[in-house]
Amino acid sequence: MSLNSTLAVKTASAVTKWWEMAGLGYLVEDEPVNWLEAEKPKEAPIAPPKTQTHARPNISDIPKTAPAAPVDPASWPQSVEQLLADIENGAPLPGNQFGGNRAKPVGAANCELMIISDLPDFDEIEAGFLGAGESGKLLANVTAAIGQGINRCFLTALASTRPASGDLPEEEIPQLTAFMMHQIGLVKPKTLLILGSAACSALLGAELMSARGSLLFVKHNGQKVSAVTTFHPRTLMARPVLKAQAWRDLQMLLINKDLM
């Protein structure tokens, strides 16, 4: 079998797996498919660095913090390796001081696809890194369906800690956005996949529902990085019916193969 044929088979298999996880059966069966009980992907979403076990906190248990003082961008990390170390070590970076444990980004510089969300889920906070838990399983299938293994992507979020409210404070958005632009400069991806309304608004200045389905661009240092936006995995888990729409969003990446 030729290399192209092998890749085609793998891609078709990944797309089929995505639809199985999406619960496609709800269109033709009496009862929806419980896609969360589907077979575990053969490729683990992300190999955990050093797993720490933490009890899942209640919202009231997460310390409330005052808005962070602006951090001098000159002190921000100048490499991906330093970025990961600074976040893990609790450096005073935007989004790293909301309280509780941290979920650091995962990936390396020069990844073709950089995936950006708003903030970590509880599973990710417990694990200490992004891409863990049920959202991570779904995200692994999302990236596989578009021919990008999760381990070949850079996964990050506007905040590495989780505010007590579960939402990003409005007054922090400008600094969080500036720091994410700094991260984009460090990673130098070809394409961005932006997950959820908060990240979409911060980076594209647009509402998620109006930005979906179009190839957009994030301007950084005089250059434009192509971007596609869709629902966050946590939204897709809560509302499986949206997965058909999410797949149409992801096709923007499949159609524009030169972006990958």
Domain residue extents for the chain: 3-46+72-259
pLDDT given for residue 149 in this prediction:
84
Report the predicted TM-score, pTM, of the whole model to 2 decimal places. 0.76
Across-strand partners of 157? 117
Asked if pLDDT for residue 44 goes beyond 60, the answer is no
First to last CA, the chain: 24
Bridge partners of 220?
223
- How far is the C-alpha of 116 from the C-alpha of 107, rounded, in Å? 12
Percentage of residues in the chain with pLDDT exceeding 90? 55
CA atoms within 13 A on the CB side of 109: 11
Percent of the chain with pLDDT over 70: 71
Walk across the sheet containing 223-230 and list its strands.
153-157, 113-117, 191-195, 223-230, 216-220
Higher pLDDT, 58 or 227: 227
- Asked if residue 54 has pLDDT above 50, the reply is no
Q: Does domain 3-46+72-259 have CATH number 3.40.470.10?
A: yes
Q: Does the structure show a pLDDT above 70 at 145?
A: yes
Distances (CA, A) of 37 to 11, 16, 122: 22, 16, 20
Residues of 1-28 as b/e, b for ≥16 C-beta within 10 angstroms?
eeeeeeeeeeeeebbebbbebbbbebee
Buried b (16+ CB within 10 A) or exposed e, 101-130: bbbbbbbeeebebbbbbbbbbbbbbbbbbb
Measured between alpha carbons, how far is 257 from 129 in angstroms, rounded to an integer? 29
Residue 179: band (very low, low, confident or very high) from pLDDT cuts 50, 70, 90 = very high
Residue 12 scores a pLDDT above 80: no
**Closest Cα partner for 206 from 225, 183, 229, 224?**
229
Query: Lowest-pLDDT range, 42-51, 109-118, 141-150, 221-230?
Result: 42-51
Q: pLDDT tens-digit profile of 181-215? A: 999 999 999 999 999 999 999 999 999 999 998 88
Backbone angles phi, psi at 106, to 5 degrees: -135, 135
Residue 151: predicted pLDDT: 87
Is pLDDT of 15 > 70? no
Q: Does the pLDDT at position 226 exceed 70?
A: yes
Query: What is the pLDDT, as a whole number, of residue 14?
Result: 56
Average pLDDT, whole number, for the chain? Answer: 80
